[in-house]
Amino acid sequence: MLQVSNIKAHKETYIKALKKRNFDAEDLLEEVLQLDEKRRSTQTKLDDTLAEANQLSKEIGLLFKTGEHLKAGELKERSAGLKESSKSFQEELNTTVARLEELLYTIPNIPHESVPAGTSEEDNEEIFKAGEIPELAKGSLPHWELAKKYDIIDFELGNKITGAGFPVYKGKGARLQRALITYFLEKAAAAGYTEYQLPLLVNEASGFGTGQLPDKEGQMYHVTEDDLYLIPTAEVPMTNLFRDRMLNENELPITCTGYTPCFRREAGSYGAHVRGLNRLHQFDKVELVRLEKPENSFEALEGMVAHVKDLLNDLKLPYRILRLCGGDLGFTSALTYDFEVFSTAQDRWLEISSVSNFETFQANRLKLRYKDKDGNKQLLHTLNGSALALPRVLAGILENYQTPDGILVPEVLVPYAGFDLID
């Protein structure tokens, strides 16, 4: 959530920057400033009225003590009027604050200056590419057919138990999945991240804190009776560990990692691009979260990008990195890099990670601050990244590592999986 003080100081800059998102913010920001002025004015009236009522209360007490009951009675009538006025001002203030907060929740984050303008994923900038795209033998198969051939993932059984988008991993498929999770977590631990095991359900306050609510409410599974949400990513519970916290500078940076299943209701279209593991309603992911001082956050972002690069280099998968354009940038993000792995059998790029800096946008919603060495209170910058989301990584491995004799296991995973070939 944007800070009103920053909107006031940088209104025209924000209007121009938000146009990168194809978001016309001029009228909205003006209404925010008008509501904030009304809030300030009403707060002043309320404070003055309460102060006058408090002073009258003292005077009435003294008058009663000195026996001046008639004069005390007159002041009591005036005091009653002030109480009615204060009640009216409080109601007006509550309404104004609620409307102001409602508007602020609808304004996306300001894109970083390096974010290119654009309307869709077609306008994203490729900034890096690595890895050799393998030459597959004639008759090579997409991963959903390989999964059936080697009996390692059963999509139909998942559909029977739950519905489409909930696959069942079997045998070496389940073991390879577990190997990837362990490998990703151990790499994160070696990089200094503290591992957490997290709840898979969060309350509404947590959803608002990281920006999934109200922006992505329709994409989240909602347990209505308990008013809880299944997590769309570990970012939500992990970042909310620090909601309403005042940290000290010497505690920073804070680095966290965790593995969780993730749940997303988002409906997909039909076709090969959403078949198999390409788009799921439940999937596994290892997440990284960082809390950084503002002056260090973009260096930390580059460090997270380097971490994901290392994972993909170790897996020897062909991949590229995209800088997302304004039209494809997430609601809460100031700058996002997407990683995509090349699926040779499908002849297309598959997104496997997003690494983002939210600057102060989430921290303001979370009331997450720190005290610097001079005792000043400042908002932190929050960052997160997938390291990695498993379904499309697994799809890339199955398709790119297939041979006439079976599917090879990337060398780095063999110690975790306990086998080197799926046949």
352 labelled binding-site residue: yes
| Burial class, 404, CB count within 10 angstroms (exposed 0-12 / middle 13-18 / buried 19+) | exposed
Among the listed residues 82, 47, 75, the one whose alpha carbon sits nearest the alpha carbon of residue 60 = 75
Contact yes or no for 82/52 (Cβ under 8 A):
yes
295 labelled binding-site residue: no
Could you write out the DSSP letters of every residue in 216-240? TGGGS-EETTTTEEE-SSTHHHHHH
399 labelled binding-site residue: no
Among the listed residues 273, 296, 307, 268, the one whose alpha carbon sits nearest the alpha carbon of residue 385 = 307
264 labelled binding-site residue: yes
Q: At CA 71, angle to CA 66 and CA 72, rounded to 5?
A: 70
348 labelled binding-site residue: no
353 labelled binding-site residue: yes
Dig out the tokens for 253 from the structure. Answer: 């940076």
Dig out the tokens for 110 from the structure. Answer: 């300001």
Contact yes or no for 402/139 (Cβ under 8 A):
no
Among the listed residues 218, 220, 251, 254, the one whose alpha carbon sits nearest the alpha carbon of residue 239 = 254
265 labelled binding-site residue: yes
Q: Give the single-character DSSP code of 43.
A: H
Cα Rg, the chain, nearest whole Å: 27
Binding positions for ATP are 264-266, 351-354
Binding positions are 233, 264-266, 287, 351-354, 384
Binding positions for L-serine are 233, 264, 287, 384
